[in-house]
Amino acid sequence: MSRGRLLDAHSLLWWLFEAERLSPRSAEGDSPVLGKFVEVAEAEGFGQLPISATQAELAGSFSSPHADPWDRLLAAQAQLEGLTLITNDPKMDSFGIATCW
């Protein structure tokens, strides 16, 4: 069974507006779209993942040297929710989560 996927911000922006920048492995569709963020994301088949206190707590407790708070939160969400993070950021490897590019 395949894991669900979580997108790093650059992955979503490239998906929507610069699909040619995505690797073949990370792209499963390549048509750029315009419109409101939530509507566009949902139309493309993406859902929303609310931030929980448990995720925030884990994000703050990582011993990784990667200090970006949003990246730490993405790593916590990926770990706790059993998701693969689609990212081109090699620093995310320091969290020990499943990534794809």
Q: What is the pLDDT of residues 42-58, one digit of tens each?
A: 888 888 899 999 999 99
pLDDT at 29: 65
Whole-angstrom distance, CA of residue 101 vs CA of residue 96: 15
4 backbone dihedrals φ, ψ, rounded to 5°:
-65, 165
Q: Are 99 and 93 in contact (CB under 8 A)?
A: yes
Whole-angstrom distance, CA of residue 41 vs CA of residue 46: 5
pLDDT above 70 (res 11): yes
Compute the average pLDDT of residues 8-17: 71
pLDDT above 70 (res 34): no
Of 13-17, 45-49, 54-58, 71-75, minimum mean pLDDT range: 13-17
Greatest distance between any 2 Cα atoms in the chain: 39
pTM of the model: 0.70
